[in-house]
Chains A and B, each alone.
Chain A
């Protein structure tokens, strides 16, 4: 699948944003996080900017952005629609929570409930994002049980890394959170490895033969494509990535996306506050980059069945 940058950024950013929202939406009302409005302000700012920014960039990918609102209509059947509905829905309780907390210093009662509600909706949104891909049968590398957990885990991981950074800014001593982060990174990494192993060791049950209904005479392969130049289908779904390129990018994703953030978070735990803050910041940036690469690969490595009609032997 062709990795459209707008989508790569959208999923990465909104994932992180909603992940953070999930954490503070739960953490503050339950008293696990400091009610300090300054902390609240920065945290919520990160959360809103990233999730809203992500949504905006996804709209860029549309052929008719001005009609984007129409996407809310088919929540009954379409995961994309559901994602749209939930993402927007998240902002209402989130807004109440933000206002209540930042202006009136309230973190419990209605405000607290709204926080929790926002957290649930945020999680739901990320789940929908994962399901958009996981529900697409024509793409073996997406239509599998590893996709949704990957999305959730990565969102949580980026959320936590962001949280650490914000906490670091506000002098609070966030060891507990740091531990959680290290755990989340570990889980996300394992899930990603599991996903990679899955797509490396399995392929779609479809073949050129099943795609054409041919094969009675023997092996089936393409002789001539219908058109000699690339058409929409190939531009959109015919993306191919060289093996060694793939291996290199995965390595980078591992280091930048998981190893480095983990290491930096460790530093943040032990280092002096100032240094800790820098480490946490670097962790966020590094993880962000890592997830972008991971997301790019998520598309680049996905093989659409339509390519069977255009010379691909396996998908």
Chain B
């Protein structure tokens, strides 16, 4: 039902943590998501004008890129974005049919395709652009947090993770229970100051983003010319060689 499930303390909140310090923007998570899900719970992830102008399609995960800072100090940031499985998801409460719902057991936000009338209101209500209308099926689709992987008994335990997580070459994506303060993901978020997107809207996203880090400046004194030795000055052209005349090597 559309009403949000009552949140008990310690409620399980499955979600993703994305490390912007590591993402190189390879789009692996985006295409792996497309690949898994086009045959998955919300199949198909339809594509339109696939081989012509204005090609577009249903994607649950997209890689944006931004620049942060100015001039030579600017840093390119690759920014993957999928559904954040918010705790206050207006996409759910605005839904007139109850097709859009949030699971009480793990907080995953889903669309029940068989109820959806394709009014698109949920996509208007999502500030993050995580709702994907399938114009062919006439229904709304979205990231399922790979609900058909994470509990899948036909997969080896280590594979019971979202497709976008297992493929990531830089291991910049983490999946886990953000409701449990002691989970690996929660600790990571705490340690790295994980961020909410558009906190001002109060949707309270479950997914968190770890901001890029600035390398600690290493304080190494600049190299001093080698101490002038008896035979030769260190830093005056030819004679500099003299400091090596007694240097012996052994093979």
Q: Give A contacts to B, CB under 8 Å.
A: 1, 61-65, 67-68, 70-74, 76-81, 84, 132, 135-139, 205-206, 208, 210-227, 229-233, 235-237, 304-306, 309-310
A80, B121: Cα distance in complex, Å: 8
Distance in Å: Cβ of A70 to nearest Cβ of chain B: 4
Distance in Å: Cβ of A217 to nearest Cβ of chain B: 3
A219, B74: Cα distance in complex, Å: 9
A237 pairs with B74, CB closer than 8 A = no
A80, B58: Cα distance in complex, Å: 25
8 interchain pairs, CB-CB under 8 A = A62-B117, A71-B119, A81-B96, A132-B121, A136-B90, A138-B127, A217-B214, A304-B124
- Centre residue among A78, A224, A236 by max chain B CB count within 10 A: A78
A232, B127: Cα distance in complex, Å: 14
B56 pairs with A229, CB closer than 8 A = yes
Interface window among B62-70, B154-162, B243-251: B62-70
B126 pairs with A306, CB closer than 8 A = yes
Which of B107-148 touch A at CB < 8 Å? Answer: 115-121, 123-129, 132-133, 135, 137-140
A210 pairs with B200, CB closer than 8 A = yes
Distance in Å: Cβ of B168 to nearest Cβ of chain A: 16
Q: CB < 8 Å: which of A81, A137, A138, A221 contacts B67?
A: A221
Lowest 8 CB-CB distances: which A-B pairs, in order?
A63-B118, A63-B138, A213-B195, A217-B69, A226-B62, A306-B129, A138-B127, A81-B96
Is B30's beta carbon under 8 Å from chain A?
yes
Distance in Å: Cβ of A208 to nearest Cβ of chain B: 7
Given A67-B117, A217-B69, A230-B56, also A309-B198 (CB < 8 A): no
Query: Range of interface residues on chain B?
Result: 35 or more
Q: Note all chain B residues with C-beta closer than 8 A to A132.
A: 94, 121
Distance in Å: Cβ of A204 to nearest Cβ of chain B: 9
B97 pairs with A73, CB closer than 8 A = yes
Chain B interface secondary structure, helix, strand, loop or mixed? loop
Given A222-B66, A233-B123, also A64-B116 (CB < 8 A): yes
Distance in Å: Cβ of A248 to nearest Cβ of chain B: 27
Q: Note all chain A residues with C-beta closer than 8 A to B212.
A: 214, 216-217
A138 pairs with B126, CB closer than 8 A = yes
B69 pairs with A218, CB closer than 8 A = yes
Q: CB < 8 Å: which of A63, A135, A216 contacts B116?
A: A63
User: What residue of chain A has the Cβ atom nearest to residue B80's Cβ?
Assistant: A226
User: What residue of chain A has the Cβ atom nearest to residue B129's Cβ?
Assistant: A306
Distance in Å: Cβ of A66 to nearest Cβ of chain B: 9
Is B95's beta carbon under 8 Å from chain A?
yes
Q: Assuming A74-B1, A76-B2, A138-B125, what are 10 further A-B pairs, CB within 8 angstroms?
A: A63-B116, A67-B117, A70-B117, A74-B96, A78-B121, A135-B94, A213-B20, A214-B212, A223-B65, A305-B198
B197 pairs with A211, CB closer than 8 A = yes
Q: Note all chain A residues with C-beta closer than 8 A to B53.
A: 229
Q: Note all chain B residues with C-beta closer than 8 A to A233.
A: 123, 129
Q: Note all chain A residues with C-beta closer than 8 A to B201.
A: 137-138, 206, 305
A75, B150: Cα distance in complex, Å: 33
Q: Note all chain A residues with C-beta closer than 8 A to B124.
A: 1, 136, 138-139, 236-237, 304
Which of B196-215 touch A at CB < 8 Å? Answer: 196-203, 209, 211-212, 214
User: What residue of chain B has the Cβ atom nearest to residue A222's Cβ?
Assistant: B66
Q: Note all chain B residues with C-beta closer than 8 A to A310.
A: 64
Q: Note all chain B residues with C-beta closer than 8 A to A1.
A: 124
Q: CB < 8 Å: which of B65, B69, B116 contacts A219?
A: B69
Is B175's beta carbon under 8 Å from chain A?
no
Q: Note all chain A residues with C-beta closer than 8 A to B73.
A: 217-218
Q: Note all chain A residues with C-beta closer than 8 A to B68.
A: 214-220
A79, B119: Cα distance in complex, Å: 13
Q: Note all chain B residues with C-beta closer than 8 A to A224.
A: 64-65
A207, B115: Cα distance in complex, Å: 35
Q: Note all chain A residues with C-beta closer than 8 A to B196.
A: 213
B66 pairs with A221, CB closer than 8 A = yes
Is B54's beta carbon under 8 Å from chain A?
yes
Distance in Å: Cβ of A69 to nearest Cβ of chain B: 9
Distance in Å: Cβ of B188 to nearest Cβ of chain A: 15
Q: Note all chain B residues with C-beta closer than 8 A to A73.
A: 2, 96-98
